Amino acid sequence: MQIPRALATIFFAASISLPCAASSIHVVVADAHTWDKGPTINLGGEQRMRVDAFRTGFLRFDLSRLPSGTIGSDVASAKLCLWPNKVKLPGLLDVNQLSSVWDEALLTHADAPLIGVTRVGSIPILNSNEKQFLVIDITSLAQDWVDGAVVNNGIALVTTDGSYYFDSKENKQTGHEPFLDITLSGAQGPQGDPGATGPQGPQGDAGVQGPQGGPGPQGNTGATGAQGPQGITGASGAQGPQGPQGSTGATGTQGPQGDPGSQGITGATGAVGPQGDPGPQGITGATGALGPQGPQGNTGATGAQGPQGDPGPQGITGATGAQGPQGPQGNTGATGATGAQGAQGPGPGAFSVTNTTSVASTTTTDIVMTSTTLAPGAGDYIAILSAEFDGATGVGAADDHVTVSIYANGVQVAGSERTAAVRADQFGSASTQMVITGLLAAEAIDGRWRTTDGESITLQQRSLILMKVD
């Protein structure tokens, strides 16, 4: 027979003879914790309530089950019962009253309720307190709640030197939720007749499967086997699409000058300059009669060149003649050294976004990586998502993991989810690549992540690249 959750808590406490006997059990109606490194993160749905130097726990109990007319002096004892699932670092715990209201579903560090005076202080929490009920006497505070001297806004769990994990009411695996055991003074009435046995209830659903255990230690490497015969070479795969063209490299050094081309055709003679001033007119002689022209004689031998006469005065420069045709191209000079490879730019059909802003989280549900959303338009795309992460100080070296995945139009792309380990105070990385087909014009692609173990992980540099497939 499956025991109802509230009764199961009472039965377990009584069966191990704890001080939290089922006198008058008042279940927790709100439990959460805040984290000053994530001031806007709500952690009300977490299965464990963490309390350390950076985190504060908050609890509130329903006292409506107390008999009508109960006053503070009727409360003989009030015991707060907590289940430390893990004591990561022993230390001292304080229980403080709260001076303002709060809502589990909306609570963050930025708008946490005002923490009042300490009602029970310096409670030692040791490793030996793990996985058994921790009982704290808060009778005085409960009497003030009942009398109305203090408004029942709940309590805060505060520490400056320890680190603890308490089961919350959302923990479905153990059922050790916090509760308040109140015993009232006064004579006990006679025991009533036992009621009739009710019919057996239906079989409850199977419990949630526990988390997978960590990998065992690696075995010794076996001896190397004999080398098998070489297999037949497989056919070459199809050539992948050409990547986008990178930026032009720096210009190489200039090669030696080529041989000069042949002389171009001489341009046309420029226009004749203006005529000089005429000399004095000589006396005109009488014109003789023109005789008939005789036959041309043979050209005589060229005489020796006489000495060069004095140069005449410089004539006026004529207009520049038309440019002759270009001579043939000289030989190509030697190729200069190749310039450094430029960063790859988003060519036609390629889109990318990179962000380095740090974002810390302990959430175990997928959240969007800040500034990794692209809306490239309709078509088919190859999506490549990569991200770097940093484990928080003091986090265990082997039990912290992060999961990344690609979403298209708000829906996770099947098969895109990848999980990687992140160690304390060290960087880790995770990446995934998928082909997305049939994206519509108004739809977007983004990268998302979550912590697999609920530990504090910080997202560092991340990038999303989209390449359109023709």
Residue-wise pLDDT tens digits, 343-357: 444 455 789 999 988
Q: Quick one: tokens of 208?
A: 């949630």
C-alpha separations of 70 from 124, 151, 204, 237 in Å? 33, 16, 37, 82
CB burial readout 17-39, b (16+ within 10 A) else e = ebebeeebbbbbebbbbbbeebe
Q: What pLDDT was estimated at residue 1?
A: 34
Mean pLDDT along residues 277-291: 72
Q: What pLDDT was estimated at residue 21?
A: 41
Mean pLDDT along residues 313-333: 74
SS3 135: strand
Q: Quick one: tokens of 101?
A: 């209201």
Per the model's pLDDT, the better-predicted residue between 11 and 73 turns out to be: 73
> pLDDT at residue 32 above 60?
yes
pLDDT band at 211 (very low <50, low <70, confident <90, very high): low
Ranking 5-9, 134-138, 306-310 by mean pLDDT, the lowest is: 5-9
Q: Read off the pLDDT of residues 70-119 as tens digits, 9 standing for 90 and up.
A: 999 999 999 999 999 999 999 999 999 999 999 999 999 999 999 999 99
Residues whose CB falls within 8 Å of the CB of residue 251, separated by 6 or more in sequence, listed in order: 336, 339
Ranking 115-129, 172-186, 195-209, 265-279 by mean pLDDT, the lowest is: 195-209
**CATH classification for the domain delimited by 5-184, as one of 1.20.120, 1.10.3470, 2.20.25, 2.60.120:** 2.60.120
- Please state, in angstroms and rounded to a whole number, the distance separating the CA atoms of residues 6 and 168: 13
> pLDDT at residue 62 above 80?
yes
Share of the chain above pLDDT 90, in %: 40
Mean pLDDT along residues 34-38: 92
Q: What angle do CA 271, 276, 280 make, to 5 degrees?
A: 150
Q: Are strands 411-412 and 401-408 parallel, antiparallel or unpaired?
A: antiparallel
> pLDDT at residue 183 above 50?
yes
- If we measure between CA atoms, which residue out of 176, 145, 151 comes closest to residue 31? 176
- Please state, in angstroms and rounded to a whole number, the distance separating the CA atoms of residues 20 and 181: 6
Residues whose CB falls within 8 Å of the CB of residue 155, separated by 6 or more in sequence, listed in order: 58, 59, 60, 80, 95, 96, 97, 98, 119, 138, 141
Residues 263/305, Cβ–Cβ less than 8 Å: no
DSSP designation for 187:
P
> pLDDT at residue 431 above 80?
yes
CATH 3.40.630.30 correct for 350-469: no
Q: How many CB atoms lie within 10 A of CB 56?
A: 23
Per the model's pLDDT, the better-predicted residue between 266 and 8 turns out to be: 266
Tokens 């704290």 map to which residue? Answer: 136
Task: Please give the distance of CA 177 from its chain centroid, rounded to a whole number.
Answer: 34
Q: What angle do CA 399, 94, 54 make, to 5 degrees?
A: 40
> pLDDT at residue 207 above 60?
no
Share of the chain above pLDDT 70, in %: 71
Mean pLDDT along residues 405-411: 93
Mean pLDDT along residues 172-201: 70
State the DSSP H helix or E strand holding residue 140, giving kind and residue range, or none if neither: helix 139-147
CATH 2.60.120.760, the chain: domain bounds: 350-469
Tokens 């089922």 map to which residue? Answer: 22
Residues whose CB falls within 8 Å of the CB of residue 400, separated by 6 or more in sequence, listed in order: 391, 421, 422, 423, 424, 451, 452, 453, 455, 457
Q: Quick one: tokens of 188?
A: 């006990």
Q: Quick one: tokens of 281?
A: 């007119």
- Please state, in angstroms and rounded to a whole number, the distance separating the CA atoms of residues 59 and 39: 19
